[in-house]
Structure 1
Amino acid sequence: MRNKTRLFRSVAFPALGALLLSSCGGGGGGGSTPTPTPTPTPTPTPTGGLYTPPAAEALSSTDVERVLAQAIAEAQARNSPSVIAVTDRVGNVLGVFRMNGARATATTAPAPNGVSIDAQNVTFPAEGGAIAKAVTGAYLSSGGNAFSTRTASQIVQEHFPPAPTTVGLESGPLFGVQFSQLPCSDLSSRFGAGGSAALIGPKRSPLGLAADPGGLPLYKNGVLVGGIGVMGDGVYGSDSNILDVDNDPEEFIALAGTRGFEAPSTIVADRIAVDGTTLRFSDATFAGLMTSGGASFTSLNGVAGNLVAVIGYANAAITAGATYGTEASGIRASTAAEFSNRDAFVLTDGSGTNRYPIRAGTDGASISTPLTQAEARAVLEEAFTVMSRARAQIRRPLDSRAQVTISIVDTHGAPLGIVRSPDAPIFGTDVSLQKARTAAFFSNAQAGAELSANASADIRQFVTATRSFLANPAALTGTIAFPDRANGNLSRPYFPDGEVGRPHGPLSRPIAQFNPFSTGLQSALIIGNVGAHLGFVSGASVTDTPQRCTTLPDVAPGQNRLQNGIQIFPGSVPIYRGTTLVGAIGVSGDGIDQDDMISFLGAHNGGARVGGIGNAPMAMRSDNVVVTLADNKKVRLRYISCPFAPFLDTQQQNVCEGL
């Protein structure tokens, strides 16, 4: 059964106050990385044509009214007054409806041991939960996969799949993704920018990505156009047992809203398997709905409830969605001057300007020879080519090409370029940047010093814990190259990952205190920002969180190394010039092994093309680090893990070996 212990409190936002007071704070475990030599990837094709961009579809105001009316009617039939939100594909909130009698707040799950920290046991406006669920349904999906908040729940917990019988299995493949799309992210645009920028995406989420069932994607004529989210029961949690079938009113209400906008049956999560486990989409079924559709929004608005404004997200009105792929959506096809491969899409400001053009490193004050623009371009182009050859894991039909977002950063965390394939899931945009910054940060000589200087003792202790766990006082001083796969090893509540009875990794919370709302350093770094934002959304504060996560020291005016937080599942590698760190590449949007491969081969092939840069020297890589456990068992950290035979145009195997 879903973990739905009643947590609603009648006193408004009691846990939020405590969260605001705390605001000052701020893959597998075994085996070495294989080591043989791949055939170099072909030069990027300027003509493109390997991908078909999504058709031009968008939710009209009438469509939004229909989605809301269908959901409202179902909620009435179930006597489950709720808050219902609809977004477009890039996260613009198109309408939020509060039904009469709907709970004002929702509360996140508490710590298992009752000592709640980070985002555990936090009470917040219910509208925030509804929006987060709608954003999740839209952002995790694409033309090749339809994922829901139930899918998200399955892939972010300490065992995959989450169930009483799976104890001992590794954590979910996207463990930690819930702490992306954060309200403090410098990548995400914000509601209320005004003028032509009003619908520019991708937008942020009040709570990051949601794992509480009740969020589904919306499709129009088979094209992804948005998401719907429902918050009604006051409990914002996750499903800890996927072996049973939940009777979840929120999910039925959301499903009713998708009538006429339902995901194509061929691409729903139930048709997609990861490591032999079929994903979940919805426990609610159309056969189980209590209404037949056809409800009129005009007859419900002002009677069953009202449209409401949400500070920082929406006016009390219906808005038509942006058409993804247009300048107005904030994501469009690149020009020839912006990127050589004509399949590439970029982020735009609504006025024709690429928000993240390819450029040289900004960190000349810190390193002698920063990445050049030509080097950054070579890495991005080669990574894009690897992606276009790779077989996707999460897309249907089978043998589709992988679709991801690719980011490159310098050692200060400044983006040096972001490109994406036409139909890559939106969530991967923010996550790819998080991954690149995380690899660059943990591989940096200043990582330990910057964390140790934090005002939060909680954050400072992660440095001590890491050095003790690795039996290496020089850890986090630039002597070890840490990709996100290694960071993930150290961020799991069991080490090795999933082995019950083992200690937690040094960047994680102990299992007795762990749940998806408190993962460890990842959540500790940004909880102050989330607290400030929820205070703003609730009206308790007039000040929103700035567009910069964490309280790390600045490395340039107004800029720290982790402006949108860290990420702790695979898909990034640091980039070196000899033994000198010069940046990192992050990839997100498909299977984690595909993401690893694209980043690793992108760095290698880009370096081979221009000379002078590439992946970390083998002697520096994290897979040289061996941890000795209490029983003297030795566990090697990982560096990357690549699919065995990943390409569509060749039967080549073991493509990452020897590099």
Structure 2
Amino acid sequence: MRVSRRTGCLAIALLTLGSCGGGGSSGSGGSAAAPAPATPTTPAAVYAAPTQDALSVAEVQRIIAQAVGEADARKRPATIAVTDRVGNVLAVFVMNGTINRSLTSRLTATGVLNDKDVDLQGTNVDSVIAAISKALTGAYLSSGGNAFSTRTASEIVQSNFPPAPNTVGIESGPLSGVQFSQLPCSDLNTRFVAGGGPGAFIGPKRAPLGLAADPGGFPLYKNGVLVGGIGVMADGDYAFDTNVTDLLVDDEEAIALAGLQGFAAPDSIVADRITVDGVSLRYSDMRVADLHPLKNDFAAIQGTIGLLVGVTGYNNAAIIPGTPYGTEASGYRAATPAEFAFPDAFVLSNGSGANRYPIRGGTDAGSVAQPLTAAESRAILEEAYRVMSRARAQIRRPLDSRAQVTISLVDTNGSVLGIVRAPDAPIFGTDVSLQKARTVTFFSGPNAASDLLGNPDAEVANYVARARTFFNDTTALTGKWAFGARSIGNLARPHFPDGEAGRPEGPFGRPIEDFNPFATGLQVALIKSNVLQHALFTEGKPFNDTQPQCTLLPPAPNGKPRLANGMQIFSGGVPIYRNGQLVGGIGVSGDGIDQDDMISFLGVHNGGQRVGAIGNAPIPMRADQIVIPIGAGVRLRYVNCPFAPFLDTNDQNACQGL
């Protein structure tokens, strides 16, 4: 079944995927990983960079014509969007008669939602921005080793995994919360530059509604190489699928499936060839056999069946060619030896040759006695990369592929101290890894409560009182505890403990009767005004675009809120300490949440062993030392590292005792 517009129309849906646990440890027993050597050698390259390929104008025309032909045959006027791998919108085509539900203004003159508006569900959205978000989701969640659709995204972001009537009482989807990434307010994701020029097409680009959970979005491949995504909006219902046990006749998915013919993912890597916790993921309920004969004459449809349209902030009503991923112009390229020691690493570039986020020391000397040095930042990033290159991937095919992720490092202000990634890591992990790094640093720091109380939206401030009641501690959120990204996820679920039916929600979540993937709690409350303001801007309403920084939290000393690209609520990040004092945080995203946890946790540990003085939080401070008085007592989680995680050794329990 699909959720009606009444219960879920505005999706800001994204995706990603796996707690070392209690008793004063961050592992589950067994041998610990050996510390890194004091002067580690740089290994040879182990990753191959994707072939630099992209969609041509003629190919975009063909994709649109095929989709429009199927929509016309089904008598379903549709909006079709096509993007490249890094999020540039290559074209948007709107058929005559397309259902378009314009956003109703709910913002005050100051850009703050009315107090009665507590989430984003039930908000009508323009079909154009919905289609763009669907296309970006297909492109961003995929890679050369996995192809995920918006139906896949729907499966992994809901309150139970898999979502179905008979799975009540099972934990939330592994990427619950990822839908609120790639936000239009993110200070990391770039913005379309009208008229071209330097930096016009560098990525990753923002998504107008974040990642989408509404079926009708797929990745596009060319010669087996990921080159973009297609998104279709036709029914006016931007929703999600609450039951994976049945097959739906989904016109939007069929239209998108027609569009990608000739540009389909290799069968070996599509989502339904990939399992998570023993569950096969979903890719599409529609099959090629369900389609009408393909039509591919773009000239026959432009100006008759519909028109290319411009979208403020995304495209100028023209078809443009894709930018090959891995080139300087794409915003992602191979690192130089001076930028990063590993020969196969990628960095983000500004389109003119400069690394957007070079490795550096902390900017927080005014509030931290001894900030991270550039050498310490480098050690943490290099050791996390080293762990990744040894780790067995969760969501990549073929089996026993190496994990590929993005790794982000921040100081206590949320300032970026370096971002590095494997060459074929999914794009979505760039923004998400930074969200995770900032989230764990924010909630582990001394300013979390005061910053939340300083937000002008009373709903946000109320979460402080809820947390203090939950912890039975009037000083909660002032830096006494170290929270991993997994810990924050525990606190943001519609049940605590996660999945245990009949229990109330965590202090950062929403009650199960009010919860849906578009209304998760504090995560949404922090950014709802930014997202709605941007949606109004794209519709041509008299609103300025949202600033390139999310949330209405007070600024840190660097001039930006500490959560400048939003909050994230699934695993893969830990704070960093020096002699018991918080000095920063690391976030990892892209290849399974247990892998993300391990890479971040061991990266900090091994980096500290290499340079001394810094490391993971002292065990007595970790959130897994907190026992909530529910039943016999429920311990929060901190990190969870996978079993048999490495390709080069049979070691188990790599995080135990560290």
TM-score (norm 2): 0.94
Out of 66, 73, 78, the position equivalent to 1:77 is: 73
Structure-2 change in CA distance of 1:399 and 1:224 (3 Å): same
Q: 1:638 matched to which residue of 2?
A: 637
Question: Post-superposition shift, 1:5?
Answer: 5.3
Conservation of the 8 A alpha-carbon contact between 1:44 and 1:341: no
Q: Take 1:415 and 1:504, find their aligned partners in 2: how far apart are those partners?
A: 32
Matched, 1:236 2:252: no
Q: 1:376 matched to which residue of 2?
A: 377
- Structure 1 segment 257-272 matched on structure 2, within 5 A: 257-272=259-274
Matched, 1:551 2:552: yes
Q: Which amino acid is the alignment partner of residue 445 of structure 1?
A: P
Secondary structure at the aligned position of 2:135 is classed as: helix
Matched, 1:439 2:440: yes
* More divergent stretch after superposition (44-53 vs 166-175): 44-53
Conservation of the 8 A alpha-carbon contact between 2:82 and 2:229: yes
Structure-2 change in CA distance of 1:335 and 1:44 (3 Å): farther
Q: 1:407 matched to which residue of 2?
A: 408
Structure-2 change in CA distance of 1:41 and 1:278 (3 Å): farther
Secondary structure at the aligned position of 2:133 is classed as: helix
Matched, 1:61 2:63: no
Q: Which amino acid is the alignment partner of residue 365 of structure 1?
A: G
Secondary structure at the aligned position of 2:136 is classed as: helix
| CA offset digits 1:393-448 (Å, max 9, x no partner) | 00000000000000000000000000000000000000000000000000001111
Question: Post-superposition shift, 1:38?
Answer: 1.4
Q: 1:618 matched to which residue of 2?
A: 619
Q: 1:112 matched to which residue of 2?
A: none
Conservation of the 8 A alpha-carbon contact between 2:8 and 2:239: no
Secondary structure at the aligned position of 1:355 is classed as: coil
Matched, 1:658 2:657: yes
Q: Which amino acid is the alignment partner of residue 3 of structure 1?
A: V
Q: 2:502 matched to which residue of 1?
A: 501
Runs (4+) off by over 6 Å: 6-9, 27-30
Q: Take 2:602 and 2:558, find their aligned partners in 1: how far apart are those partners?
A: 33
Out of 29, 32, 37, the position equivalent to 1:37 is: 32
Structure-2 change in CA distance of 1:118 and 1:600 (3 Å): same
Question: Post-superposition shift, 1:470?
Answer: 1.2
Q: Which amino acid is the alignment partner of residue 296 of structure 1?
A: D
- Structure 1 segment 8-407 matched on structure 2, within 5 A: 32=23, 33-34=26-27, 36-41=31-36, 46=42, 48-105=44-101, 117-192=118-193, 194-291=196-293, 293-407=294-408
Q: Take 2:151 and 2:315, find their aligned partners in 1: how far apart are those partners?
A: 25
Conservation of the 8 A alpha-carbon contact between 2:22 and 2:625: no
Secondary structure at the aligned position of 1:236 is classed as: coil
Q: Take 1:556 and 1:201, find their aligned partners in 2: how far apart are those partners?
A: 27
Q: Which amino acid is the alignment partner of residue 445 of structure 2?
A: N
Q: Take 2:454 and 2:354, find their aligned partners in 1: how far apart are those partners?
A: 37
Conservation of the 8 A alpha-carbon contact between 1:8 and 1:106: no
Question: Post-superposition shift, 1:294?
Answer: 4.0
Question: Post-superposition shift, 1:39?
Answer: 2.0
Q: Which amino acid is the alignment partner of residue 643 of structure 1?
A: P
Secondary structure at the aligned position of 2:310 is classed as: coil
| CA offset digits 1:257-294 (Å, max 9, x no partner) | 00000010000000000000000000110011012x24
Q: Take 1:7 and 1:390, find their aligned partners in 2: how far apart are those partners?
A: 40
Q: Take 1:30 and 1:469, find their aligned partners in 2: how far apart are those partners?
A: 20
Structure-2 change in CA distance of 1:28 and 1:357 (3 Å): closer
Q: Take 2:20 and 2:299, find their aligned partners in 1: how far apart are those partners?
A: 56
Question: Post-superposition shift, 1:106?
Answer: 7.0
Computed over aligned residues only, the root mean square deviation of the Cα atoms, in angstroms, reads: 1.9
| CA offset digits 1:477-523 (Å, max 9, x no partner) | 10000011000000000000011100100000111111111101100
Secondary structure at the aligned position of 2:267 is classed as: coil
How many aligned positions are there? 636
Q: 2:648 matched to which residue of 1?
A: 649
Question: Post-superposition shift, 1:118?
Answer: 1.6
Q: Take 1:7 and 1:568, find their aligned partners in 2: how far apart are those partners?
A: 22
| CA offset digits 1:448-488 (Å, max 9, x no partner) | 11111221111111111111111122221100000110000
Question: Post-superposition shift, 1:556?
Answer: 2.4
| CA offset digits 1:92-144 (Å, max 9, x no partner) | 00000000000122789xxxxxx963211111211000000000000000000
Q: Take 2:496 and 2:523, find their aligned partners in 1: how far apart are those partners?
A: 17
Q: 1:607 matched to which residue of 2?
A: 608
Q: Which amino acid is the alignment partner of residue 85 of structure 1?
A: A
| CA offset digits 1:516-544 (Å, max 9, x no partner) | 11101100000010011011011112400
Question: Post-superposition shift, 1:301?
Answer: 0.7
Q: Take 1:121 and 1:643, find their aligned partners in 2: how far apart are those partners?
A: 38
Q: Which amino acid is the alignment partner of residue 139 of structure 1?
A: Y
Structure-2 change in CA distance of 1:377 and 1:106 (3 Å): same
Structure-2 change in CA distance of 1:279 and 1:229 (3 Å): same
Structure-2 change in CA distance of 1:107 and 1:400 (3 Å): farther
Q: 2:533 matched to which residue of 1?
A: 532
Q: Which amino acid is the alignment partner of residue 603 of structure 1?
A: V
Question: Post-superposition shift, 1:47?
Answer: 5.7
Q: 2:112 matched to which residue of 1?
A: none
| CA offset digits 1:267-325 (Å, max 9, x no partner) | 0000000000000000110011012x242001111111000000111111100000000
Q: Which amino acid is the alignment partner of residue 382 of structure 1?
A: E
Question: Post-superposition shift, 1:196?
Answer: 2.4
Task: Give unpaired runs (5+ residues) of structure 2.
Answer: 13-17, 105-115
Task: Give unpaired runs (5+ residues) of structure 1.
Answer: 10-14, 20-26, 109-114
Q: Which amino acid is the alignment partner of residue 55 of structure 2?
A: L
Q: Take 1:107 and 1:393, find their aligned partners in 2: how far apart are those partners?
A: 39
Secondary structure at the aligned position of 2:128 is classed as: helix
Secondary structure at the aligned position of 1:406 is classed as: strand
Matched, 1:593 2:594: yes
Matched, 1:475 2:471: no
Conservation of the 8 A alpha-carbon contact between 1:8 and 1:107: no
Q: 2:2 matched to which residue of 1?
A: 2
Structure-2 change in CA distance of 1:302 and 1:222 (3 Å): same
Conservation of the 8 A alpha-carbon contact between 1:30 and 1:635: no
Q: Take 1:230 and 1:213, find their aligned partners in 2: how far apart are those partners?
A: 9
Q: Take 2:229 and 2:572, find their aligned partners in 1: how far apart are those partners?
A: 26
Structure-2 change in CA distance of 1:422 and 1:229 (3 Å): same
Structure-2 change in CA distance of 1:89 and 1:334 (3 Å): same
Q: Take 1:314 and 1:556, find their aligned partners in 2: how far apart are those partners?
A: 35
Q: Take 2:381 and 2:5, find their aligned partners in 1: how far apart are those partners?
A: 47
Secondary structure at the aligned position of 2:83 is classed as: strand
Q: Take 1:315 and 1:456, find their aligned partners in 2: how far apart are those partners?
A: 35
Structure-2 change in CA distance of 1:488 and 1:316 (3 Å): same
Q: 1:566 matched to which residue of 2?
A: 567
Q: Take 1:102 and 1:263, find their aligned partners in 2: how far apart are those partners?
A: 28
Question: Post-superposition shift, 1:37?
Answer: 2.3
Secondary structure at the aligned position of 1:370 is classed as: coil
Conservation of the 8 A alpha-carbon contact between 1:183 and 1:205: yes
Structure-2 change in CA distance of 1:44 and 1:289 (3 Å): farther
Q: Take 1:335 and 1:626, find their aligned partners in 2: how far apart are those partners?
A: 47
Question: Post-superposition shift, 1:6?
Answer: 7.4
Secondary structure at the aligned position of 2:620 is classed as: helix
Conservation of the 8 A alpha-carbon contact between 2:572 and 2:587: yes
Q: Take 2:632 and 2:465, find their aligned partners in 1: how far apart are those partners?
A: 22
Q: 1:582 matched to which residue of 2?
A: 583
Q: Which amino acid is the alignment partner of residue 67 of structure 2?
A: A
